[in-house]
Every structure is written in structure tokens, then in C-alpha cells.
Amino acid sequence: MAFRSFTLSSKFLRHSKFLSFRSLSTETETPQHLFERELYQDNKVVRLVLNAPKTRNSLSLALIESLFKELQEIDSIEKIRAVILAGKGPAFSAGHDLKELTTGKGSEYHKEVFNKCTQLLTFIQRMQLPVIAEIDGVAAAAGCQLISSCDVVVASPTSTFSVPGQRVGLFCSTPGVALVRQVPKKIALDMLLTGRSITAEEALRAGLVSRISKEGEEPRIEALKVAEEICKYSRNVTAHSGIFWK
């Protein structure tokens, strides 16, 4: 794994909106460049940034497989205490890549995509490390399912959340299951049946979001604050904290 390391103390966190980070990947969205890797807090926190902005960070089979492999490796590194998942561009993730779900691809390929996605999301829930979703934009369909599988969700005030499959004739059945486990049934069904988006504030009230970042401040800062707090405690104790709800 190729990482770029950053060490941010609380002092630097307060001012880090002035820092800029060079991209670690090339313009070509090959599997090995579908996300960027960053290290913080003396290499105890890994921030993975989905790097397929041209497809709004859609969960293609290549991205799912690469992310799954990466998280498996990260979870085995004893020094790491937390993982942050973020997205490059205006969307955290717009869900599955619909170009991969065409009739021409065939039902077996579709099953492979959904099975691999289920494996990824199940693994996230079973990881020893807490996973923090950092949202700055759109989280839709399977992208909303992905954040529902994370332990903590930090969102910018302008972020939106939706399961809009109804609008294109593909009801978001699987994302709906994850969603209804996080928010009240009436809110989940309102989103599923109408395809409407909810705001970060609505998502916070419903229980889909843990924290909203300050106006004008990158949600990265708030996500790193959560990770910084987690790093103060034992990895083993943290790993046991999810037994009752993961």
C-alpha cells in the first residue's frame, strides 16, 4: 500500500482547512487508483478517499473489490485505530454503477456485483476498527447503504441522502434494508417510495448521521476529531464495543 502520512494535532486540526493535499493517484481510474490513501495521527488513522469523481464514486465491481481488499489489509495492522471513508468530488457515492447493471452484462455479472458489495458491507460491520464515513455531497442508493454500514457518519451541512431507485424503475430494496435499520421505518419508507433526498439536518435527527461539521469547514476536520478521540483508547476495547450491534 502506498500512503502519504499526515500528523495533525488538535492545534493543527483547528487550522487544517488552510492545508491542501496533493492527489496520490493519476487521472486514469484504474483499479489501483480508485481511492487515495492518507495517514494521520502518527499513522494510527487511515483516510481512504474514493477517487472516481467522473462516475460520482459509483460502486463499480472494481472499486468494491479494491476497497474490500484494502480494508482487510488495514484491519490486520495492529497500529491502526480508525478508518475514515470519504469521496472525491461532489458525491460521496451515487451508488452502483448502472452501466454495469445493463441487460448486456447478464444476470450472473449482476449477481457478482451485488454479492461482492454485500461481502464488503458485511466486512465493514465486522471490522475490529471503527469506520467513520465522511460525507461532503451526495450519498445515494448503495452509497447510502455504505454509510449505513459505517460506525460513525460525519456530514457537511450541504450533504444529502437518498435512495432514489424508484425514480428510474429500480427500487432500492437492499439499500432500503440497511436504511431502515438506521432510521425510523416511516422516514425510510418516505425516502424509498418517493425517491426524495433528505438534508444533513434531517439525517441527523433521523439517526443516519452522527455529527454535522461546522458551516464553511471541511467535514474532514470533524471526522479527524472523532478519529483523534478514538486513538486515545485501547484498540482491543474499541474492537469489543461493537459486539452488541454489529
**Residues 14-71 pLDDT 10s:** 333 323 333 333 333 445 588 999 999 999 999 999 999 999 999 999 999 999 999 9
pTM of the model: 0.85
Q: Which amino acid is at 157?
A: P
Q: What are phi and psi of 191, to 5 degrees?
A: -65, -40
Mean pLDDT of the chain, nearest integer:
86
The reply to whether 184 falls in a domain is no
Distance separating alpha carbons of residues 195 and 175, to the nearest angstrom:
12
Window from 7-21, 137-151, 173-187, 217-231 with minimum mean pLDDT = 7-21
The reply to whether 223 falls in a domain is yes
The reply to whether 135 falls in a domain is yes
Strand 4-5, strand 152-155: pairing: unpaired
Give the residue among 94, 118, 245 at the shortest CA–CA distance from 174. 118
The reply to whether 242 falls in a domain is no
What was the pLDDT predicted at 75?
96
Q: CATH number, domain at 106?
A: 3.90.226.10
Q: 144: domain range?
A: 4-163+199-236
The reply to whether 243 falls in a domain is no
Give the residue among 80, 86, 88, 11 at the shortest CA–CA distance from 39. 80
The reply to whether 92 falls in a domain is yes
The reply to whether 143 falls in a domain is yes
The reply to whether 81 falls in a domain is yes
- Provide the number of structural domains found in the chain: 1
Distance separating alpha carbons of residues 162 and 101, to the nearest angstrom:
19
